[in-house]
Chain A
């Protein structure tokens, strides 16, 4: 069965420091991977995706993610965190049935402190 795991419920980082939000996946074949961000009382917003090609994917708001096939990971990163990056982050993998269904991780709360 396909699954996504986000091992940390919360990540705390100081403003200006680099941040990493971890995601590991379990799928057969090549995965389609996504990161979304959710601000309070809002829906999920798409940040970036990995489909194929370069293992380092760049997305919105200065975020990037590194795909590592051998470690089955897709960690979200940013070189310098902002207080405004504080939000709930979801990793997701596309279901292979070609219906477009997404399988989400549990979510990681990112707290950036000034």
Chain B
């Protein structure tokens, strides 16, 4: 089925560990986004990507790394997890650029707990 899939849905890890959150979309959308959702902050953009091999920082990029070797995948890596990175992470994609009035489509999120 077409859509945007995040994995895992739930993850518990320890401080200092590396963890990678996966995002896969089947629409061939050029733009992809990573957000984190925290109480009192709404959604904040971590990184985004305009196309394969093109990524850029969002509002809260520190402690995160992204890559986009293929259009359909946009993994997010926490290189050394900290408790402050406990959050719910959402991936989104959109047809945008010159079609920038199109909505973003969201995955169901990954709930990450760092102990």
User: Which A residues are closer than 8 A to B by beta carbons?
Assistant: 32, 34, 36, 41-46, 49, 51, 90, 94, 98-102, 104-107
9 residue pairs A–B, Cβ–Cβ below 8 Å: A41-B108, A43-B4, A46-B104, A94-B100, A99-B50, A100-B31, A102-B43, A104-B44, A106-B42
CB B81 to nearest CB in A, in angstroms, measures 22
User: Which B residues are closer than 8 A to A by beta carbons?
Assistant: 4, 31, 33, 40-45, 48, 50, 56, 58, 90, 92, 94, 96-98, 100-109
A106 touching B104, Cβ below 8 Å: no
B105 touching A46, Cβ below 8 Å: yes
Chain A residues whose CB sits within 8 angstroms of the CB of B105 once the complex forms:
46
A90 touching B108, Cβ below 8 Å: no
B42 touching A104, Cβ below 8 Å: yes
B45 touching A101, Cβ below 8 Å: yes
B101 touching A43, Cβ below 8 Å: no
Q: Give the dominant DSSP class at A's interface.
A: loop
Separation of A99 and B33 alpha carbons in the complex (Å) = 10
Leading 5 A-B pairs by shortest Cβ distance: A100-B96, A43-B106, A46-B103, A44-B106, A106-B42
The residue that A99 contacts in the complex, of B40, B48, B92, B101, with Cβ under 8 A, is B48
The residue that B41 contacts in the complex, of A45, A98, A106, with Cβ under 8 A, is A106
Chain A residue with the shortest CB-CB distance to B90: A43
The residue that B108 contacts in the complex, of A42, A46, A51, A104, with Cβ under 8 A, is A42
Separation of A37 and B101 alpha carbons in the complex (Å) = 18
Separation of A94 and B99 alpha carbons in the complex (Å) = 12
The residue that B103 contacts in the complex, of A41, A49, A107, with Cβ under 8 A, is A49
A100 touching B94, Cβ below 8 Å: yes
Chain B residues whose CB sits within 8 angstroms of the CB of A90 once the complex forms:
42-43
Chain A residues whose CB sits within 8 angstroms of the CB of B109 once the complex forms:
41-43
Separation of A4 and B94 alpha carbons in the complex (Å) = 20
